[in-house]
Amino acid sequence: MRYRSVFAWTLVAAAALAAAPAEAAQPVSPDCPRLSASWYGDNRAHLQQVIDERGTCAGHVGGARPVAAFDWDNTVTKNDVTDATLAWALKHDKILRPADWKATSEWLTDAANTALTAACGTGVPVGAPLPTATNTRCTDEIFEIREDGRTMSGAAAFAGDWNHRRTVPQYAWVPQLFAGHTTAELTSYARQARKAALAAPVGSTQTLGTHTIPAYVRYYDQQRDLIRTLQRAGFDVYIVSAGSEPVTEVWSRGVGVDARHTIAIRSVLDRRGRITTWNQGCGDAPASRGETIPYIDGKRCWINQEIYGVRGAAAWQKQDRRHRTAIAGGDADTDVTFVGDATGAHLVLNRNKNELMCRAYDDADGRWVINPMFIEPLPRRRDPYLCSTTAYNEPDGTRGPVLRGDGSVVPDQADTM
């Protein structure tokens, strides 16, 4: 069980208070917001401790409010809401034919362009809906590129240079696929996809061409309770996702987080208010065709810029404690930087992602909170995480050792839950 050492002092303190005169005890007020959902091991107690120490129950009123930030897909919900929206769009002919597939992404290869053109055809006018509901070859090519970054024949769909800690082309490609639509239209598709995904039974699947993917999405009760409790305790709660912002906003409202507190890929709109293949930049990085999205170090940049007002190149750097979140949560390597920046608790849902789990199991500051997924958790990984050699995602796409803040190497870690 995690946090035996973290909570040892708590148990000692509790025993001391029990032995002391009654008037010396300072119990938490019954009016203080309390977590009610069940968590693994001591995790609820650890999160509650941070809430009590940083929120209004600790007397922190006025001035800057404490901040909590969470990834969305597979952190607040089970399954990916971007995939659910794209699947719904493909089943309802909502992808518009581009004039040139290569124009949809800075890194799309000739092989991908040829495959998409052959599969999706040129029979409909540019800007008209592709018949993806019936043309399963087109659906297959689009979803294979989104899912694996490869064509159905196995050719690389993206090539070139990009910073692998700031973007991944197939993530950036999803909002680019909706170019030509208004944000209101994309919001409508996300709402309809949400309705279908919430109605689908847990464990159910759907078919897209030859791909089988989850048909259902569920809000995690524990995360909904955590967000509500944090808000009642005076925290500003944000969602920071590598999905499309209009899609994420539709879902974040379901846990009481409004659009102003939802940060995701922000598409640049044209003069008619339609989505383009460009997205807004962060820090000292200008608008681009996907070079800087909320992904790994990009999530830190967007948090620093949008929440704490840090501008320019400094937004990519780790800030002082006053300009960092109290609690941050995620499930994948895309979340590792901003989750690690939190000063009170680093919440991780274990999906066996290498760099994130190396940091979590190493637990360098004693504040990492690891929880199995609340629905359909993964089995324990048999092989260790290769933290000392290949778990770190280098900016150039190679793999290296995970290093602590002092430069020491994180040893390989076993998966224990």
> Of 371, 185, 176, 359, which Cα lies nearest the Cα of 276?
176
Enter the tokens of residue 343: 């000063």
CB distance 277 to 103 below 8 Å: yes
At 62, which amino acid appears?
G
DSSP letter at 381 equals P
Beta bridge partners of 309: none
User: What pLDDT sits at residue 62?
Assistant: 64
Angle at CA 305, nearest 5°, toward 300 and 311? Answer: 115
Mean pLDDT by 10 residues, the chain (417 residues): 35 34 42 93 97 86 86 98 98 98 97 98 97 97 97 98 98 98 98 98 96 98 98 97 98 98 98 97 97 98 98 98 97 98 98 98 98 96 97 98 97 96
Distances (CA, A) of 394 to 333, 346, 363, 398: 12, 22, 21, 5
User: What pLDDT sits at residue 57?
Assistant: 83
* Domains of the chain, earliest start first: 1-63 (no CATH), 67-343 (3.40.50)
Beta strand pairing call for 77-78 and 345-350: unpaired
Beta bridge partners of 130: none
Enter the tokens of residue 147: 């899912």
User: What pLDDT sits at residue 5?
Assistant: 35
CA 365 to CA 344: how far, in whole Å? 10
Place of tokens 């300009």: 323
CB distance 261 to 70 below 8 Å: no
CA 359 to CA 311: how far, in whole Å? 28
**pTM, whole model, 2 decimals?**
0.92
CA 371 to CA 241: how far, in whole Å? 20
